[in-house]
Amino acid sequence: MPDRRPPAACRLRSCRRQRRHGSDDRPFPGAVPVLDALTKACQGRTVVTDITASFASGTITAIVGTSGSGKTTLLRMINRLIEPTSGAVRINGTDVKDLPAVELRRSIGYVIQGNGLFPHWTAARNIATVPALLGWPEDKIAARVRGSATARLPASRSGPTLSRTAVSGDTFMQLQVLQVDAHLSFTLAVFLLIVGKILTLRWSLLRRYSIPEAVAGGLAFIAIVTILHMFWGIDVEMELGARDFLLLVFFAGIGLNADIRALREGGRPLLVLTGISVAFMVMQNIAGVAVARAFGRPALEGLLVGSIPLTGGVGTTLAWAPILETQHGIATAMELGVASNTVGLIAACLIGGPMAAFLMTRYRVRPSGDRRLEIGATHQNPPPLDYMSVLWAVLLLDVTVMAGRALHGVISLTGVTLPAFVSCLLAGILVRALLPGRLRGRVSRQWPGMRRAMALLSELALGLFLVMALMGLKPWALAEVLGFVTVALAVQIALTLIYTVFVVFRTMGRDYESVVISSGFGGITLGSTATAIANMTAVAQQYGAAHAAFVVVPLVCGFFIDLANAAIISAFVRVLA
């Protein structure tokens, strides 16, 4: 409390199975508390002062303080065992003062310091109390508490056993989620990436259409968790905290592999791609608004199937959905935005490779033949690696990520908001360009091997990031808005394909570099920067390197697109409100 699992239980098992027995009997399923300026004064002394916090589902929060600092008082205010002096506790947006106290407490597991067991009842009777209150049938309760130890009284049991007994009673209120901790989530991501690699090597169709290996493994996982949800009522919650760091490592590698000369050559393509991307974002929103009006929905909902979730991604959705909900009355803003982003991300993963194959064949574009890839290795010629090259590459990537974080902090102080991965990309370019002379000589001797090592490490980081991104998706969450989102996203995907063939490919030069950029354009406008680069990497592994594309696309995605999208969204909101 406020976590959904006591820390002691979390340490006992790395993966705890929480299974639904029939329907979810809790009055407020999935309840997550939000504290708003919570204060409690007692006998003239303030015990808890102005606490404001929110807690994400599936996370663990530790409240640390000395004895008498108000920890227990704070927790008791959440389920109204103690009433606050001022402030509010909200469950799913509703003040707990407006909720029936009994139903509220049955929806929030609470294990107190003294274990909370009735000393004159057996362990079985203690465990059965909550499910009996929830109306479970006797045979189900008996099956759950079966065991010889449950016939003993609390006084005859050890302290840890008493805690586990108390936790057993608590978990009846939340037996529908399979919680997977960070270590197991990361291990599963590695396994899925291996599965994707094996599928890509064995199925020539995946290679022919340059489907990223991470996508093959990630979609297999989505299929499994969807089956678990639909047929057994089990939801899988992954702890994916490593995902963001992997993205920083990936873009640090992109920056380190970028040549200043290639950057100079990329000046015009950078401006051109930015211009056509901005024009497309306007078209995205016009199309979204048109579909919304065709469905008889508010015009502003069109932005939630337009550039907010598709070009902007999850971050932009989380920023704009509350504004559209509170200021403009779009009650399902968050659901629409997240649903659109989910469908767009999957679509972006699948259209990039086939798009490149179509353009290569239709316009007879010749591959570059350059096997010096920024990311990964070609399918035909895996590169030789040596110990020192890998070690130097790991060190340089780590130093670059640290430099990128420092640069991000400095940029933030100026009031400019940039994604952290852009700072790591710029840091990589600067680190390579500004290496001290003596160290540069050492790096130059190791550089051919280091470049190969960094390419593989970058591919590994990107692959794991994309797998984790797909592992976090929940397709069943689209059910409530399925019809509208399906039609809107079908329109957006068709618009992307047409625009890529007739505008992006032709404007960017009708050559191999433009093919690679075109394969990533779906990621720019439907998914994420990582999706764009994953598609481009798969194409480069099949047909050869495209050095300018791997510098231009990340810069457009990470800097220019975000700034332009913010202005475009604001303009549409003003016009449509």
Q: Return the pLDDT at 10.
A: 34
More confident residue, 465 or 442: 465
Q: Is 574 helix (H, G, I), strand (E, B) or coil?
A: helix
pTM over cut 0.85: no
Distances from the Cα of 263 to the Cα of 142, 260, 419, 437, 553, angstroms? 70, 5, 20, 22, 12
Residue 354: cis peptide before it, omega within 30 degrees of 0: no
Lowest mean pLDDT among 107-121, 160-174, 231-245, 295-309: 160-174
User: Both tokens of residue 62?
Assistant: 């530790």
**Cβ contacts of 312 within 8 Å, gap of 6 or more:** 320, 562, 565, 569
Q: Are 47 and 73 in contact (CB under 8 A)?
A: yes
| Domains, the chain | 7-171 (3.40.50.300), 184-381+449-576 (no CATH)
Q: Is the predicted pLDDT of residue 524 greater than 80, yes or no?
A: yes
Say whether pLDDT at 444 is over 60: no
pLDDT per position as a tens digit, 185-221? 999 999 999 999 898 888 888 877 777 788 888 888 9
Residue 431 or residue 404, greater confidence: 404
36-55 confidence digits (pLDDT tens):
888 887 656 777 888 888 77
pLDDT confidence bin for 349, thresholds 50/70/90: confident
* Range of 390-394, 506-510, 535-539 with top mean pLDDT: 506-510
Confidence label for 67 from pLDDT (cuts 50, 70 and 90): low
pLDDT over 50 (residue 379): no
Instruction: Name the residue with higher pLDDT: 138 or 11.
Output: 138
What is the band of 562 on the pLDDT scale with cuts at 50, 70, 90? confident
Mean of the per-residue pLDDT values for the chain?
A: 77
The predicted pLDDT at position 452 comes to: 78
Greatest mean pLDDT range, 312-316, 334-338, 449-453, 550-554: 550-554
Mean pLDDT of the region 94-101: 74
Higher pLDDT, 450 or 171: 450
How many angstroms separate the CA atoms of 385 and 256, rounded? 18
Bigger pLDDT: 200 or 5? 200
Whole-angstrom distance, CA of residue 281 vs CA of residue 564: 9
At residue 282, the pLDDT reads 96
Buried b / exposed e over 122-149, threshold 16 CB at 10 Å, is bbbbbbbebbeebebeeeebeebbeeee
| Interval 470-493 mean pLDDT | 83
Please classify residue 483 by burial: count the beta carbons closer than 10 Å to its beta carbon, then call 0-12 exposed, 13-18 middle and 19+ buried: exposed
Over residues 390-413, mean pLDDT: 90
pLDDT surpasses 50 at 411: yes
Number of H helices, E strands in the chain: 23, 7
At 159 the pLDDT is 47
* Residue 291 DSSP SS3: helix
Out of 101-115, 289-303, 372-386, 456-470, the most confident range is: 289-303
| pLDDT of 548 strictly over 60 | yes
Residue for token digits 């629409």? 336
* pLDDT of 26 above 60: no
Percent of the residues in the chain that have a pLDDT greater than 90, as a whole number: 19
Average pLDDT over residues 308-337: 80
Indicate the pLDDT class of residue 9, thresholds 50, 70 and 90. very low
